[in-house]
Amino acid sequence: MRRMLLPAMAVLVALLAGCTATAPADRSLTTEESQRLAVARFTNYDEGVREVSATLPGEPSVILTGWVDFANHRGLVSAGGSKDAPGEFGLYAWNGEMIAVLEGAVESAALPLPAGSWQIERLEPTASVVQNLFAVALSLGSDRPDNPTLLQQSDARWLRADTIGDTAVDVITGPTSDGPAVGTPDPDAATVRYWIDERGRLLRVELRQQSGDGDDWIQLDLGAKSDVDLAPIDALVVPIE
């Protein structure tokens, strides 16, 4: 079964930030590294709901904080201009098909979902930076591990060892295709970087997003497992026909 951990988002730019001539040499994945990459999405699925946060570039920048339910493929985040006002711009709730937006200040990502003038539209990854991020976030959960052998044969690359807080991680680029690597893979062709700890737990994902002024990096941090219940958003809106 050719299951692989792919970003699968055409809107992402095939460039990898931070890699320069002075950067540590990248290399192919070891067996152990490919196994940890292979279980990263399944680990998210197994944990269910995790806290997430991200900052969208712009003037002003937008800080997103909330949760993603990787088992049921839905999310809820508040949007604000600072950590002191996490919901001043409103709320986003989404699943694999649609996104619901509640504009106006709220205290934070609220549960249960508050009543109000929710606006709904189809989730289109190419429509905006935020919709692309939401689609990628949902893709980070899978009900089974990926294929470590195929990952090791792909152009996925180990970039470096790093830390998030006190936790040691490996920074690994995802494969750019389903096939095996041809020649020496170029890490600058990657569209995504995964920060994975020794247990195969995904702690951060970095995506490079094309914008009118160039290319922006978007960092999605995955936090603690949560016991919040993200109810379906269908009750807020009329289902799309």
Average pLDDT over residues 155-164: 95
Q: In this predicted structure, what is the pLDDT of residue 42? A: 97
C-alpha closest to that of 7 among 172, 200, 215:
172
Average pLDDT over residues 97-122: 83
Q: Residue 113 — pLDDT band, cuts 50, 70, 90?
A: confident
| pLDDT at residue 239 tops 50 | no
Distance CA 49, CA 230 (A): 8
Q: In this predicted structure, what is the pLDDT of residue 182? A: 76
User: What is the pTM (predicted TM-score) of this model?
Assistant: 0.83
Distance CA 130, CA 101 (A): 12
HSE toward the beta carbon, residue 137, CA cutoff 13 A:
36
- Average pLDDT over the chain, rounded to whole? 83
pLDDT in tens, 114-146: 777 889 999 999 898 899 999 999 999 999 999
For 21-37, b/e burial (b = at least 16 CB within 10 A) is eeeeebebbeeebbbbb
| Domain residue limits, the chain | 27-47+144-224, 51-140
Least confident of 21-25, 46-50, 147-151, 224-228: 21-25
